[in-house]
Amino acid sequence: MGHLTMQKPYQELQQRLHKNPIGAPPAEELFEILRLRFTEEEAQIGARMPMTPAPLDVLSRRLGQEPERLGAALERMAEKGLVLDFTTNGKPFYMLAPTVIGFFEFTFMRLHKDLPNKKLADLLSAYMFEDRTFSANAFGGETQIGRVIAHERTLPDDLRSEIMPYEQATEILKTAKLRAVGLCYCRHKAMHHGNPCKKPMETCTTLNGSADWAIRRGYGREVSAEEAIEIAGRTRDNYMVHIADNVKNEVSYICHCCGCCCGMLKAINTHGIQSAVHTSNYLATVVDEKCKACGRCVKACPVMAVKIVPLEFGEATARIDEDTCLGCGACNVACKNNAMSMKSRPKRVFTPEDNIERLIRSAVERGTVHHMLFDDPDSVTSRGMNLALGALLALPLTKRLLAVEQIKSTFVKTIVAGAKQQMAEATA
């Protein structure tokens, strides 16, 4: 990357993005994506933005810019999907959008006529899928950004009666304060990359505060609960997977995903990262006496967890690889012989309470929590604590894993509580 040494704003922006749990490992493709999406001024602003949302006056002092000029630049960046903005108690707050879920998605959640869409699609595909580095970094921890929601109608009555509200797509969509739908980033990108998918395109469903942002910034249109549920039903019938925000409360999105385009599912299919998305609390199972070995379930499964195996006397049946099964129910929807059923997993999958807990857990696991907790470059104490905690997380693997486990078990709840208090005070 010798020829990139003069592109200091973009190197600093990459380093800032890499402090997020999802990460942004350096690569030629990434630097080209950053140059196409950020001007040099925007890269300089992004590189100096704190890890948590901040009001304009704080950003103005931190960046040394007049509030009026900085506010105008942040407004342009928000329109481009590079910055996330919201208002609390009449005061605007801003934060730099991460790579995922962030400005990567916003690049193709609508058609940007002023961008080289084919080139960006090729670069994003190469960065995310041709090399394993990004996926290994993004999905390397225990706590992931997405979780699978089983298709409710595939669950037998005894399981349906026990399902929690946050495990039901219809309940999440009904109770959301606001809903929006936009283009599926993954399939739209694939189309520009030259690999169009036949699955529905306008399916990316954002909820609550994220829906407000998507509507304001032109990345989605407002929809009723009824239309959002109809979209979920249509995607279910296309053997797609409901993947939601990995939280119990204030769910911000439900994606409707296919195995050929979805970044999380392709991390499984292409790179073998089985934990790239949290499974549902259910597993598919086969009723052998009803199975005709037709293979519809094999074609429907988005992660190739179903195969046809021979039995005695020339017969055959479907079999589920339970280590791979997402528990989505796509195979059940595809089966015409009522041979596919669903059962509970032996152990329930952990789901964080909200996005603050999910983010803190992800940061602890991936060794970036010091960037979130001690993020003021102008404070000697903050810089010292950042270095100290960073050194702990840079220990050899076995020692680091032990330390991380101790941090998780002893301090995560305290850190989460402190982060929530800090957010409340900042937005008061």
Q: Give the model confidence (pLDDT) of 237-269 as tens digits.
A: 999 999 999 999 999 999 999 999 999 999 999
pLDDT band (50, 70, 90) for residue 419: low
Query: 3-state SS of the chain: helix, strand, coil percent to 5?
Result: 50, 15, 35
Span 341-361, pLDDT tens digits: 999 999 999 999 999 889 888
**Cβ contacts of 393 within 8 Å, gap of 6 or more:** 367, 368, 369, 370, 400, 403, 404
**Cβ contacts of 329 within 8 Å, gap of 6 or more:** 150, 151, 153, 154, 155, 236, 282, 284, 342
DSSP state of 113: T
**What pTM was computed for the model?**
0.88
Q: Which of 52, 118, 42, 51 is nearest to 81 (CA)?
A: 42
Q: With H, G, I as helix, E, B as strand and everything else as coil, classify residue 241.
A: strand
Which range has the top average pLDDT, 313-317, 367-371, 416-420? 313-317
Q: CATH code for 2-138?
A: 1.10.10
Predicted pLDDT at 90: 87
Taking the C-alpha atoms of residue 178 and residue 212, their distance in angstroms, rounded to an integer, is 7
Q: Is residue 6 scored above 50 in pLDDT?
A: no
Sheet (strand 179-183) strand order = 146-149, 241-245, 253-257, 202-207, 179-183, 221-222
Q: What is the mean pLDDT of the chain?
A: 89
pLDDT band (50, 70, 90) for residue 204: very high
Predicted pLDDT at 333: 98
Taking the C-alpha atoms of residue 282 and residue 329, their distance in angstroms, rounded to an integer, is 9
Predicted pLDDT at 389: 45
What are 11's two structure tokens?
């190197």
Q: Which residue intervals of the chain bear CATH 3.30.70.20?
A: 146-344
More confident residue, 194 or 161: 194
Percentage of the chain lying above the pLDDT 70 cut: 86
Predicted pLDDT at 269: 96
Q: With H, G, I as helix, E, B as strand and everything else as coil, classify residue 428.
A: coil
Span 274-296, pLDDT tens digits: 999 999 999 999 999 999 999 99
Predicted pLDDT at 386: 42
> Distance between terminal CA atoms of the chain?
45
Predicted pLDDT at 394: 53
More confident residue, 215 or 161: 215
Element (H, E) at 380: helix 380-393
Q: Is residue 49 scored above 60 in pLDDT?
A: yes
Q: Which residue intervals of the chain bear CATH 1.10.10?
A: 2-138
Helices 40-48 and 8-17, packing angle to 10 deg: 40
Taking the C-alpha atoms of residue 230 and residue 219, their distance in angstroms, rounded to an integer, is 20
Taking the C-alpha atoms of residue 412 and residue 396, their distance in angstroms, rounded to an integer, is 21
Q: Is residue 5 scored above 90 in pLDDT?
A: no
Question: Which spans in 166-320 are helix H?
Answer: 169-175, 185-193, 208-216, 225-237, 263-271, 296-300
Q: Which CATH architecture has domain 146-344?
A: 2-Layer Sandwich (3.30)
More confident residue, 74 or 368: 74
Q: Are 229 and 203 in contact (CB under 8 A)?
A: no
Taking the C-alpha atoms of residue 87 and residue 93, their distance in angstroms, rounded to an integer, is 6
More confident residue, 3 or 229: 229
Q: Is residue 142 scored above 50 in pLDDT?
A: yes
211-218: average pLDDT: 97
Triad 327, 328, 333: Cα angle to 5°: 120
pLDDT band (50, 70, 90) for residue 392: very low
On the question of a cis peptide bond just before residue 101, with omega within 30 degrees of 0, the verdict is yes
Give 314-322 contacts, CB < 8 A, sequence gap 24+: 317/286, 317/288, 317/291, 317/293, 318/286, 318/291, 318/293, 319/286, 320/283, 320/284, 320/285, 320/286, 322/283
Element (H, E) at 130: none
Residue length of the chain: 428
Element (H, E) at 12: helix 8-17
Q: Which of 390, 375, 387 is nearest to 422 (CA)?
A: 375
Percentage of the chain lying above the pLDDT 90 cut: 76
Predicted pLDDT at 314: 79
Residue with tokens 């699955």: 199
174-182: average pLDDT: 98
Q: Are 123 and 29 in contact (CB under 8 A)?
A: yes
